[in-house]
Structure 1
Amino acid sequence: MAAAFDSSTTAGKADPLLRVENLRQWYRIGSGFLGRRDLVRAVEDVSFDIRRGEVLGLVGESGSGKSTLGKAVLRMTHPTGGRIFLDGQDITDLGRRQLRPLRPRMQLIFQDPFSSLNPRMTVRQIVAAPLVIQRADLDEAARQARVLEALELVGLSNQYADRYPHEFSGGQRQRIGIARAFITEPSLLVADEPVSALDVSIQAQIVNLLIDIRKRLNLTVLFISHDLAVVGHLCDRVAVIYLGRIVEIAETNALFRQPRHPYTQALFSAVPVPDPTLRRERIILKGDMPSPINPPSGCAFRTRCRYALPACAEAVPPLRQVADGHMIRCIRDDLGPIAKFGIVTETAGLGIGRK
């Protein structure tokens, strides 16, 4: 049974904008007629808060449950268990009609700027779509004015409003997607790997754009990424997820200086150091990530962990605090902070540095 959620384990003492308690998202797959139906435990017992105006980074390998968690907190899917609170309101079991008034406050930036834009719609129509669906109180003139303001906010000229997506580069398409997400003036934004599909030369522009808009609008952001350099530049806190469970969460500077969980250390050891005179021990994880259909008993990471003990197979370790605001899911107390795994916080190759 999941442990009771303790608000003292989160970083913020003020009421958070988003609060997630023991969230689970399971799926059944396979044939339902005289066939086997397996249970995929995509997200398992996840709890965290995001303060108003804060950016929380969510990192992990592909298949770890990052995107599934992002969709769940936006109620794009119905959670299997746990609770989700938006600005103090429990939205876990709200129906489509009850969620409609809240949709303008919760928006998503998609990962792929090519498939996320309708090729048959103009930029004006794409950006205005959330207002047409969610803000019926606005007339056409007000909607068009908001569209032009949103385009200007993301650095696109008004002359682009009547063009189609195929006429734009990847970076420009992602700016259109960002404008669409901000058009309703949301409180909570989930950015699902918004720069991973872009060239490195364009990534810095989009990241800096997000930083600028976040400051202007005082946005609360869940930033999903596998790029630690981008996360280190943009996020206030970072949560590391493995096989559907958060295994470490801390302030960004603390996590980047001293990652404590063995999985986090392995992730950081794989980041290139932009200095040929420096060397960092590379931790090679053995095997692949286990299947969420049949996860290991106890600690899910134990099958790849070089510090694993027999006791690791007995029970799932709780998420416990090891320093002020720094929490890990590990039974061992002798690992401690290992500075040699700390990451160089300069964002190599992007032309941006740690804020």
Structure 2
Amino acid sequence: MKSRAAVLLLALSITSGCAAHRVPTFDQSPANGMSRPLDDSPQFERGDAHPVVDGVGWVLGVPEKIALWDRRASNHQVSADTELKLSEYMAANGMGSTKVRINQYAPGDEWRRLAANKSVGAGWRYTFGAVRTLGYTILPGRVFSGLVGGDSYNPYTDSIYVYSDIPALAVEQGAHAKNVRWRDNPGTYASIYSLPILTLYPEQAAKEEVYAHVAQNGTYDEQVAARDALYPQFGSEIGGQTGLFVPGSTIVFSLAGAGVGHAVNAMSPAPEVGMEPFAQAAAKYEQSTELADAPEKTTWPSDFAEGIAPPAAASGEVRQANAVETPSSDATILR
């Protein structure tokens, strides 16, 4: 009993870190970002409607629905709005090569993408990547998303799988893709942080990325909705990792962790009511100036009144946010 209490306290402390913003910073170096797709197919693809298959998937997704307390989790009916939110995030981050499969099962295409994704070294693709893609093949998320994997990102095929009609969960997968794609050694990073316990670090970082994105571009209700979905999800992920040390208890610990996440969310300060997203507020101050109409006009230091210093010149490089494709080949086995 004491050991279980200790585990729950550990989950609470880690989950609280999500609210405190103690997370790894995304490496946004453009060294390995890819701007062109791996093939000529559409970037977003939807699976055909299969009422029986999707009905089974909905039922198997009940544990996730309970954990998040949201019937849209693994409901296999992804709305156009959820797709739009994800596409806007990806467009803003120059992620043109990442495939998005919305409630789709396409193992053949995924194996082809595994072979074609040269941004990840062959050593990682044909070991960790092959295992990951095999799991997608024999336990398709189209049916088992509520039990295994769920909405997720496969770094070895550069593909996002979406089965829930919850925008924050979809955008989170885009954040995972962004985090991996901008690494100097994406295969090494993805493989190391897919290991037990270590996987919690990129999970937390991706959620913080979603909070920041929604705070800048979303409404107040969307900010609250993102927290309502991601806090319990992170708690569930912590519980699931904890359950690895107690065989047969993964679901129990996952649900317990989700409960802790709900509690932490309820106790955490919410955004101020009526607070505008940063991007909307900043737009009000985008006004033309005299210098914009007369760019040749320059104010020299001597023109400033005594005691008033001229504005400091901007310095340093501006890092490009968009991905830049760089040549790579299988000659680099592990990276």
Question: Fold-level match, TM-score > 0.5?
Answer: no
Give the structure-2-normalised TM-score: 0.28
Bigger relative contact order, structure 1 or 2 (CA pairs below 8 A, ≥6 apart): 2
Structure 1 or 2: larger strand share? 1
Q: Normalising by structure 1, what TM-score?
A: 0.27
